[in-house]
Structure 1
Amino acid sequence: MDNTLVSGTSKAFQNEFGSLPEHIFLSPGRINIIGEHIDYNNGYVLPAAIDKYICFAVSELKEGENSVFYAVDMEDRYNVAHAQELQPLKDEHTWANYLLGVLNQLNIRGMKTRPVQIAFSSSIPIGAGISSSAALECGFAFALNEIFQLGLSKKDLALIGQKSEHTFAGVNCGIMDQFASVFGQKEKVIKLDCDTLDYEYFDAHLGENTLVLLDSCVKHTLLTSGYNQIRRQVEEGLEIIKQNNPNVENWRDVTHDMVENLRERLGESVYEKSIFVVDEISRVGEAADALQKGNFGKLGALLSATHHGLSRQYGVSCEELDFLVEEVLKMDGVLGARMMGGGFGGCSLNLIRKDKAEEVISNISNLYKKQFDINLKVYPVNISEGTSKYTQHAEV
């Protein structure tokens, strides 16, 4: 529990509005253990909420007043009248779009809310690929649902968060980030079917091991163009496979043999990406099972296999991420490592023995600085509860 974040946000609320907040809420970021680039390929993902949060301090206002959003970390505020027709902002207050999008979705659903004043602050590193935007959307939706007793389910809240990002932030994201933020449980991962939103929990007691994010602090411009090209190739691959295998509906129905038999027809680039998708769908189930059984050697090997696939087959890694993964895997106490997220930069996810973590972090930081002259950012993370109301005795 980040009590420093809670007390700091409460104090900022008091300084800004002249009173203590009536409610405190916490909404976490997320990691994805495995299942990368599978959410849009009809597969499963294995995310978990983590102990990095956005904290919301909230009080109700009288009917007819403007809602006030205060972004503590940016020292910026935005006022909005609930009665007005909401539109995305294009000025310096674009951060407020994540909140306005939620209000707009509630209005579309005919949900009655009253004005509020909110101060929010974050311990989620911005730009590290652990989904601060989903935490912001879902935390705000959760707070309004609780305060005004709107009766929305967790699934409703996740979908409202996703839709608000589509419509007001202009990002056509999948459902995984919002789902993990809302549905997260302490020391549990979620095996999520991105098509049906069916899900199940698996134990994730890491024992003598810990998860560490290593932030490469780079983001290459290939992200959008490379991502779109890869999606086209994967769609092309599935169409060819379906033409030759009438019983195939989506990637879950595809086997290794099907892909191998069509290697020449697919062409090498599409073949490699197709093999990755088939293998990664399989790895999600294997990783959930390994976690449940406490088989961390197997889990680490799966993470490393995913990185190899993302880098060599799917083509979404970069020099810096490959360096981080390859070098850290040479170190004592490291069970597995992979790039995490869309690719071309961002973080690697590392499974490390606790007694070796400090030594590994020091060594890889020095190597990375020497190789790229970049100061590595390091974020140890624990698997936590999803979005919730904070009380003095809450265990998150």
Structure 2
Amino acid sequence: MQDIIQKITTEFTNRFGEDYTLIKSPGRVNLIGEHTDYNGGFVLPAAIDKSIILALSLNSTDECRLFSLDKQEAYEADIAGEIRKSEKAWPNYLLGVVDQLRKHDYEVSGFDCVFGGNVPIGAGMSSSAALEGGVLYGLRELFDLDIGPLEMAKMAQKAENEFVGVQCGIMDQFASLNGREGYAIKLDCRSLEFEYVPFSQEQVRIVLCDTGVRRELASSEYNVRREQCEEGVGVLQKFDASITSLRDVELAFLLRHQQELDPTVFKRCKYVVEENKRVIQAGKDLAQHDLEAFGQRMYQSHAGLRFAYEVSCNELDTLVDIARDTDGVYGARMMGGGFGGCTINLVDRAQVAAFTKRIKKEYAEKMGPEIDIYQTNVSRGTHVMAETQVDIRN
């Protein structure tokens, strides 16, 4: 990370001058609770020590001047009037934040920004949310705006929904902005009430195994799953008008009305109802430092995603199967929307090297291509880096 910080500050100085504010905005993992967010349910994410670093300053113009270190691309936009989308994808994550600030009647003028980081793109660690939250946090500092973390999370989500055009839930932005070192966040995606749950990093390490698979099927099937859940809610409301989402449905009630539901819709609903219960219990497991129980819920979650929600794939299933038979692994499951991306594994710190060696070898033997593996820690949420913090390596 120190190397990235040095490159960003050097690039900023060469382009815009030596006066800047440095922001660190983390990616996130989701320990358990997949496809529950848009069903008004519970999730258990955590900010991680892979981050986007942003250097920002005011420039006394109406120009937004941006530079992506990773892409080695510059972009400029006039933000005095209507903010227009870029034909390039990456500037829209920053412009969308400016658009949201304007819609919320915050005064924002021209600024300069150089950014880059080590959050893998497309691997399910929410690099986009880290970027949105980072630039929003930075602009709050530069313009001395009175915006709390919850409002920032909502605005960052809307930037992605309305400007970028991705219909994500609020979990990613919330976790990135509100993370706390050594804690996961049990988040109620309906009320946005949350609590910090201790995550013991002395005993266990989070290891992410990236299949490298990026399938367009993921976005289209994501929308299908949302529609199927909404269809299920529509049917169940006929029997209980108080139901507004699958969050309100108990398993016994769902089973009583199984015959009224399309078989596929029933499977989708059953998974979501069970996953919500797993998240609640998993939070209790963490609070009691019961990693064995927590790990079993991760395996149960993957089985539900594989057989009931049907968003896994052969690559993800193979990784989970290898992990299940490896010493020192408490639990493993696919993470994210599905059809590719990463598995998340909780591994005993003393066994990480052996786990990494074995899973790379066996996956290559069974599937062919080599996988990328990332080790990460639960970390602090988005914040300003003071001059003395620049030497921090995580």
Q: TM-score, normalised by structure 1?
A: 0.94
Contact 2:62–2:80 (CA under 8 A) maintained in structure 1: no
With over 3 angstroms needed to count, the CA separation of the structure-2 counterparts of 1:109 and 1:260, relative to structure 1, is closer
Q: Choose the corresponding residue for 1:127, options 113, 122, 126.
A: 122
Which letter maps to 2:162?
Answer: T
**Secondary structure of 1:73's partner?**
coil
**Rounded Cα–Cα distance in structure 1 between residues aligned with 2:111 and 2:243:** 51
Residue 288 (structure 1) aligns with: 283
> Residue 246 of structure 1: CA displacement?
4.6
Q: Which runs of 4+ in 1 moved over 6 A?
A: none
Per-residue displacement from partner, 1:12-32 (whole Å, max 9, x unpaired)? 212333x32421111111111
Q: Is the 8 A contact 1:43 1:193 kept in 2?
A: yes
Quote the Cα distance in structure 2 between the aligned partners of 1:197 and 1:37: 16
Q: Are residues 272 and 86 of structure 1, via their aligned partners in 2, closer, same or farther at CA, if it must alter by over 3 Å?
A: same
Q: Secondary structure at the match of 1:218?
A: coil
- After superposing the two structures, state which structure 1 stretch, 313-322 or 366-375, moved more: 366-375
CA distance in structure 1 between the partners assigned to 2:70 and 2:246 by the alignment: 43
* 8 Å contact kept, 1:87–1:168: no
Using the alignment, how far apart are the partners of 1:80 and 1:270 within structure 2? 45
Partner of 2:234: 239
Does the C-alpha gap of structure 1 residues 301 and 12 become closer, same or farther in structure 2, counting only changes over 3 Å? same
Please give the alpha-carbon distance, in whole angstroms, between the structure 2 residues aligned to 1:221 and 1:86: 28
Where do residues 1-396 of structure 1 align in structure 2 (5 Å cutoff)? 2-17=1-16, 19-62=17-60, 64=61, 66-90=63-87, 93-394=88-389
Structure 2 vs 1, CA of residues 219 and 294 (structure 1 numbering), >3 Å: closer, same or farther? same
Pairwise CA distance, 1:210: 0.7
- Distance, in Å, in 2 between the alignment partners of 1:114 and 1:263 is 56
Q: Following the alignment from structure 2 to structure 1, what is the Cα–Cα distance between the partners of residues 156 and 216?
A: 27
- 2: CA distance, partners of 1:354 / 1:303: 18
Matched position secondary structure for 1:210: strand
* Deviation of 1:390 (Å): 0.2
Q: CA deviation at 1:268?
A: 3.1
Residue 247 (structure 1) shift: 4.9
State the alpha-carbon separation in 2 of the partners of residues 107 and 339 from structure 1: 38
Give the distance between the partners of 1:149 and 1:280, measured in 2 at CA.
Answer: 41
Shift of the 159–247 alpha-carbon distance from structure 1 to 2, 3 Å rule, reads closer
**8 Å CA contact retained: 1:21, 1:57:** no
Shift, 1:97, TM fit: 0.8
Change beyond 3 A, Cα 1:225–1:118: closer
Query: Which stretch of structure 1 is more off in the superposition, 99-108 or 174-183?
Result: 99-108
Any idea what SS the aligned residue of 1:88 has?
A: coil
**Secondary structure of the corresponding residue to residue 237 of structure 1:** helix
Shift of residue 344, structure 1, vs aligned partner: 0.5
Segments of 5+ residues of structure 2 without an aligned counterpart are none
C-alpha separation in 2, matches of 1:76 and 1:37: 34
The answer on whether the counterparts of 2:201 and 2:377 sit within 8 Å (CA) in structure 1 is no
CA RMSD, 1 decimal = 1.7
CA distance in 2: counterparts of 1:381 and 1:29, whole angstroms: 10
Q: Is the 8 A contact 1:10 1:21 kept in 2?
A: no
Task: Give the secondary-structure state (helix, strand or coil) at the position aligned to 1:206.
Answer: coil
The 1:127/1:265 distance shift into structure 2, 3 A limit, reads same
Deviation at 1:68, TM superposition (A): 1.2
Shift of 1:115: 1.9
Mapped contact 2:229–2:246 kept (Cα < 8 A): no
CA deviation vs aligned residue, 1:341-392 (integer Å, no higher than 9, x gap): 0001100000111111111111111111222221101111111111100014
**Do 2:233 and 2:244's aligned partners in 1 also have CA atoms closer than 8 Å?**
no
Provide, for residues 127-156 of structure 1, a one-character-per-residue CA deviation record: whole Å limited to 9, x for no partner: 101111111111001001011101111112
What is the CA–CA distance in structure 2 between the aligned matches of 1:76 and 1:268, rounded to whole Å?
49
Read off the aligned partner of 2:225 and give its amino acid letter. I
Residues 230 and 13 (structure 1), Cα distance of their counterparts in 2 relative to 1, 3 Å cut: same
How far does residue 267 in structure 1 lie from its aligned partner after superposition?
4.1
Q: Is the 8 A contact 1:206 1:294 kept in 2?
A: no
Count of residues in Structure 1 that have an aligned counterpart in Structure 2: 391
CA distance in 2, matches of 1:106, 1:30: 24
State percent identity of aligned pairs. 37
Residue 246 to residue 100, structure 1, CA distance change in 2 (3 Å)? closer
**d(CA) in 2 for partners of 1:247, 1:123:** 45
Contact 2:122 2:214 in 1 (8 A): no
Distance 1:375 1:252, change over 3 A: same
Query: After superposition, what is the alpha-carbon deviation per residue over 1:196-246, rounded to whole angstroms, capped at 9, x for unaligned?
Result: 211111111233111111001112332233223322222222233332345
User: Which amino acid counterpart does residue 100 of structure 1 have in structure 2?
Assistant: L
The letter of the residue matching 1:377 is: D
User: Match of 2:49, SS?
Assistant: strand
Distance of 2:132 and 2:249 partners within structure 1: 36
Distance in 1 separating the partners of 2:105 and 2:242? 43
- Tell which deviates more after alignment, 2-11 or 30-39: 2-11
Partner Cα distance (1:338, 1:367) in 2: 17
CA–CA distance in 2 between the matches of 1:113 and 1:257? 52
- What are the Cα deviations for residues 91-122 of structure 1, in whole angstroms up to 9, with x where unaligned? xx331111111111112222122322211111
